[in-house]
Chain A
Amino acid sequence: KAGVTQTPRYLIKTRGQQVTLSCSPISGHRSVSWYQQTPGQGLQFLFEYFSETQRNKGNFPGRFSGRQFSNSRSEMNVSTLELGDSALYLCASSPVSGVNTEAFFGQGTRLTVV
């Protein structure tokens, strides 16, 4: 069974640009969550999607947005990039919504904003 796939693995963008990251969950999984990982703040929850609906949202500005498609694939978008957005963005998928099921993480997309 294929794991969670995140593309691209590495990305370099310039301040002010926008970026779209992609996550393909494990086949059959309907929940996708996104996290931002930085050395200073650690892992912070961005949002969760389940069956194309946003179920939870973290404390991030509106520049961060996401969506989920009918095949459960998810994208997150960051507009007007800032230097502080440089981070490892991790996606996790679960069969259903809720943390009492195991979340499977992808390898992440490392975004560098210059």
Chain B
Amino acid sequence: AQSVTQLDSQVPVFEEAPVELRCNYSSSVSVYLFWYVQYPNQGLQLLLKYLSGSTLVKGINGFEAEFNKSQTSFHLRKPSVHISDTAEYFCAVSDPGNTPLVFGKGTRLSVIA
């Protein structure tokens, strides 16, 4: 079964600084990878997903992620964060073939003015 490790439970960063949220998954022949964001008292919103093709995936709100098969990683990046990016971010993985999403424990991003 797939598993996901989000290496940082909390990441504080100053406004307008770059940020990287790290995600590693257990190895598999092929995977689907996702990043979701959860604002306080809200559900999850999809930021971006990798299904196949280009390893650099661009998402909403200026986020992007790079799929690295050799390192089994899917790190999320943003070149310049805003206060409004303060939220919890979840990495998720699934095998093709209608298997459920497996989520990491989440990374709480705090943007400091």
Tell whether, in the assembled complex, residue B42 and residue A107 are in contact, meaning their CB atoms are under 8 Å apart.
Answer: yes
On chain A, the number of residues with a Cβ less than 8 Å from chain B's Cβ atoms is 23
What is the 8 Å Cβ interface bit string for chain A, positions 1-39, against chain B (1 contact, 0 not)?
A: 000100000000000000000000000000001010000
A92 to B99, CA, bound (A): 15
A44: B residues at CB distance < 8 A: 103
* With A43-B90, A99-B32, A99-B94: A56-B43 Cβ-Cβ less than 8 Å: no
In this complex, the interface size class of chain B, counting residues with CB under 8 Å from chain A, is 20 to 34
Tell whether, in the assembled complex, residue B49 and residue A102 are in contact, meaning their CB atoms are under 8 Å apart.
Answer: yes
Tell whether, in the assembled complex, residue A4 and residue B105 are in contact, meaning their CB atoms are under 8 Å apart.
Answer: no
Q: Which of A35-60 contact B (CB under 8 A)?
A: 35, 42-45, 48, 55-56, 58
Closest residue of chain A to B103 (Cβ to Cβ) is A43
Task: Determine whether A97 belongs to the interface, using a CB cutoff of 8 Å to chain B.
Answer: yes
A100: B residues at CB distance < 8 A: 32, 51, 96
A-B contact number at CB 8 A: 53
What is the 8 Å Cβ interface bit string for chain A, positions 87-107, against chain B (1 contact, 0 not)?
A: 000101000011110110111
B40 to chain A, nearest CB (A): 11
Tell whether, in the assembled complex, residue A42 and residue B98 are in contact, meaning their CB atoms are under 8 Å apart.
Answer: no
B92: A residues at CB distance < 8 A: 43
A97: B residues at CB distance < 8 A: 98
Complex partner residue of B43 from A42, A58, A108, CB under 8 angstroms: A108
Q: Which residues of B contact A (CB under 8 A)?
A: 32, 34, 36, 41-46, 49, 51, 90, 92, 94, 96, 98-106
Q: A56-B100, A98-B98 are in contact. List 5 more A-B contacts (CB 8 A).
A: A42-B105, A90-B44, A99-B100, A102-B46, A107-B43
